[in-house]
Structure 1
Amino acid sequence: MRVLVTGAAGRLGSMVLPRLLDDGFTVRATNRRPRIDSRLEWAVADLATGAGLTEAVSGVDAVLHLATMPNPARRTYQVDVLGTRELVVAAGRAGVRHLVYVSIVGVDRVPIPYYRHKLAAEQVVAAGPVPWSLLRATQFPGFLDELLQAASRFGPTIGDPAVLAQPVDPGEVAARLAARLTAGPLGGIEEYGGPEVLRFDEAVHAWRAARRSRRPLLPVRVPGRTGRAIRDGGLVTAALPRGTRTWSDYLADTYGGTGRR
């Protein structure tokens, strides 16, 4: 199967490409600038302008759409919504048989602008002419790590202790995506999360232990509808199967500590 991967240079893309190659897929990947790799074909394409998309989808059996632009908001709409529409139209004209779009658990429940754009992109895919699948994943542990570093810039780690998170390993998401490509179009939404649901304070304690840090947690409640949504589990899923690699596994790999007290 020949698969086009958008967003191939991103965090998830770097896991997806070797997984697809190992599983025997023929891979074409997009980038805004020319790249050379003997293992796969790179196509120059830009979702923001639509340039190169017709050529990129030509001759492929499936599209794995990973590309996204979290900020700023205006460019997010241009890339995630309008760019996805351009891609779907081009794929339909090229006779692509399956389009897999990667989204985020909670886009339909957590009222933040980026999630609204991701939800709109999901709707573009579902309304398009190409048979489709949507995979919503929970947050990657690397993202949570970066969030905690940013929240600790001024000394204590600032955050809402009751927020719930469910970190999922991007390598396991990549494996799930490869399986979805093999299985064919779902015509629906699949959610995929990590093995454990953590409160923010639990994640912080493990993070501090792994980093051998004494920074205290300064509790600050996230206000409004967004705060209620993420405290009530808007970012987590009960869907099965789940990943197996835990937050502590990530911390051990990254910092050498166990992440356990």
Structure 2
Amino acid sequence: MTTILVTGGTGTLGRLVTERLRAAGHEVRVLSRHTPPYAVDLREGGSGLDAAVAGVDTVVHCASSPRGGDEQAAGHLIAAARRAGVRHLVHVSIVGVDRVPLGYYRSKLAVERLVEQSGLGWTVLRATQFHELLARLFRTLAAPPVMLVPAGVSDQPVAAAEVADRLAELAVGAPAGRVGDLAGPEVRTLDSLARAFLRATGRRRAVVGVPLAGKAYRGFRAGGHLAPERAVGRTTFEEYLAVRRG
């Protein structure tokens, strides 16, 4: 079996990828800022990163932060992977990074380009937003008596577990370049998803759509982050909520 490094291996997605690869018998190293023995901040790089990738066949890059630093982190990871002779770099990105002019999306697109130009064997999978992300958003929006959501926006959430399944499959295969997107089973308006969240968690709130401004909002309204032709996910938002209870 191969030795695989999972960056962001304690996060929502990375933890699931790690579990699947270990269950399949692979040696998996978890890289995270605060988890020994590979406690490394990718934004800083350094000798700890070189130690983490030494002897590794495949890297699954799940680490990411909307607060910035993804491009710098990817640069350090790629440089270390080159030095170590890593065979395959698998990167998870987001559907719509090339269509929605959001700062975080631009950064994710830039990381895709770094991966493609890395000189390593590479695979990039884009996924739609996770059910977990929507649930966290709705918990915050449901705090006031009235739940305000962006008007005219739909989403196509997917189960993080299904994305983890696909990443684990890709990690043990040959480099495949840009593979087909992985999107959730349903395109739903945000207000319908918000009401599903309220029902599942026993909250009573009025849901009100609020128009926003800016190019990113227009990109979301236009559905740039959706992939209805790739609705290959199976778990609906209601099914996720029934298990997690919001």
Q: TM-score, normalising length from structure 1?
A: 0.88
The answer (yes or no) to whether the contact 1:108–1:115 under 8 Å persists in 2 is yes
C-alpha deviations, 1:219-245, integer Å up to 9, x for none?
Answer: 201223222211221221135461111
* In the alignment, structure 1 residue 48 sits paired with structure 2 residue 43: yes
Of 131, 137, 154, the residue aligned with 1:147 is: 137
How far is 1:189 from its partner? 4.3
1:226 partner letter: A
Query: 1:199 aligns to what?
Result: 189
Query: 1:129 aligns to what?
Result: 119
Counterpart CA distance in 2 for 1:139 and 1:188 is: 18
1:68 partner letter: S
Q: Which consecutive unaligned segments of at least 5 residues does structure 1 have? A: 36-41, 257-261
The percent identity for this pair of structures is 41
1:97 partner letter: R
Query: 2:13 aligns to what?
Result: 12
* In the alignment, structure 1 residue 67 sits paired with structure 2 residue 63: yes
How far is 1:151 from its partner? 1.8
Higher mean alpha-carbon deviation, 193-202 vs 217-226, is at 217-226
* In the alignment, structure 1 residue 165 sits paired with structure 2 residue 166: no
Q: TM-score, normalising length from structure 2?
A: 0.93
Q: CA RMSD in A?
A: 1.6
Aligned residues: 244
2:228 partner letter: A
Counterpart CA distance in 2 for 1:188 and 1:17 is: 22
2:198 partner letter: R
* In the alignment, structure 1 residue 245 sits paired with structure 2 residue 235: yes
1:25 partner letter: H
C-alpha deviations, 1:101-157, integer Å up to 9, x for none?
Answer: 111111111111111111111111111111101111111111101111222222111
How far is 1:34 from its partner? 4.7
The answer (yes or no) to whether the contact 1:164–1:235 under 8 Å persists in 2 is no
